């Protein structure tokens, strides 16, 4: 979550309508894990909830964790969005689809909120029916035996216990456990990701590395996928002066 854009992506379904703008929260180092309105610093791990209109995310961060390296050492690996005009325009366009123009309220746009028919909890038959209703040809399911949420969740019996990613969250993001290391694969597109960092978000990593996955599109919408992809491009731009191979290792270590 060292990238501002990825922190912003994590807030796509943030529930609070009374707190600071999502952009200001992301710029202050915070990301969202889906627990009420609680936000977490990617660097020091401090948590804060019950945000109010008028709060200064950076000031609150500094008060709660004055020794945070993100605040005291110029970023602690933070990757800012490049402030070139095209990127700024796209960021504004995408985030306005997530929040109202005053930056305070979650939009009513169905394209970026989780659909009412949350397919993560559908049976195999239910998900297949949704696919059959699609007007466009859909990628064949690579691992149909894991279409049912219960089947994916059941695969995590031997998932390493030290992992910060919760099996239920991985399951909802379409992943089942492959049975070795921390390798998890999507039942639909088949992509396998391993070497997860503690702060890695399953939905974001799925959309980042498999933008064409029909499951991600059905669950999160094209706006979410586009925002994650733009975050990845911004990271590549920021790394152009360094070794880009490190970016290929994120997820944070590749495919499986």
Q: What b/e sequence results for 151-179 when a residue is b if at least 16 CB atoms lie within 10 Å of its CB, and e otherwise?
A: bbbebbeebeeebebebebbbbbbbbbbe
Give the position of tokens 């690579």: 142
DSSP string, 104-149: -SB---TTTSPPSS-GGG--HHHHHHHHHT-SS--PPPS-GGG-SH
Q: Is the model's pLDDT at 53 over the cut of 50?
A: yes
What percent of the chain shows pLDDT beyond 70? 68
Q: Is the model's pLDDT at 113 over the cut of 60?
A: no
Predicted confidence (pLDDT) per residue in 115-131, tens digit? 333 444 454 555 655 55
Q: Phi-psi region for residue 108, left (φ > 0), alpha (ψ -120 to 50) or beta?
A: alpha
Task: Judge whether 73 and 209 are in contact, CB under 8 Å.
Answer: no
Q: What structural domains does the chain harbor?
A: 4-96 (1.10.1170.10), 119-248 (1.10.1170.10)
Q: What is the C-alpha separation between 93 and 98, in angstroms, rounded?
A: 9
- Answer yes or no: pTM beyond 0.95: no
Going by the DSSP 8-state scheme, the letter that residue 177 receives in this structure is E
Confidence (pLDDT) at 145:
98
CA distances from 111 to 13, 108, 217 (A): 11, 9, 10
Q: What is the C-alpha separation between 36 and 47, in angstroms, rounded?
A: 12
């Amino acid at each position: 979550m060292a990238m501002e854009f990825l922190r912003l992506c994590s807030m796509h379904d943030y529930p609070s309508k009374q707190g600071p703008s999502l952009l200001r929260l992301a710029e202050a180092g915070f990301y969202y894990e889906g627990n009420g309105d609680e936000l977490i610093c990617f660097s020091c791990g401090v948590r804060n909830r019950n945000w109010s209109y008028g709060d200064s995310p950076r000031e609150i961060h500094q008060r709660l964790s004055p020794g945070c390296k993100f605040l005291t050492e110029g970023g602690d690996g933070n990757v800012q969005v490049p402030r070139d005009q095209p990127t700024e325009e796209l960021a504004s366009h995408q985030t306005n689809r997530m929040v109202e123009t005053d930056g305070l309220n979650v939009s009513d746009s169905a394209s970026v909120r989780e659909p009412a028919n949350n397919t993560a909890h559908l049976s195999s038959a239910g998900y297949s029916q949704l696919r059959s209703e699609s007007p466009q040809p859909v990628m064949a399911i690579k691992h149909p035996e894991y279409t049912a949420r219960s089947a994916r969740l059941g695969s995590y019996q031997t998932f390493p216990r030290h992992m910060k990613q919760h099996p239920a969250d991985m399951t909802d993001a379409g992943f089942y456990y492959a049975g070795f290391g921390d390798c998890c694969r999507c039942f639909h597109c088949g992509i396998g990701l391993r070497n997860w960092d503690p702060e890695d978000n399953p939905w974001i990593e799925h959309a980042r590395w498999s933008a064409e996955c029909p499951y991600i599109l059905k669950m999160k919408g094209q706006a979410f996928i586009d925002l994650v992809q733009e975050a990845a491009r911004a990271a590549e731009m920021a790394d152009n002066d360094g070794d880009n191979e490190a970016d290929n290792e994120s997820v944070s270590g590749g495919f499986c």
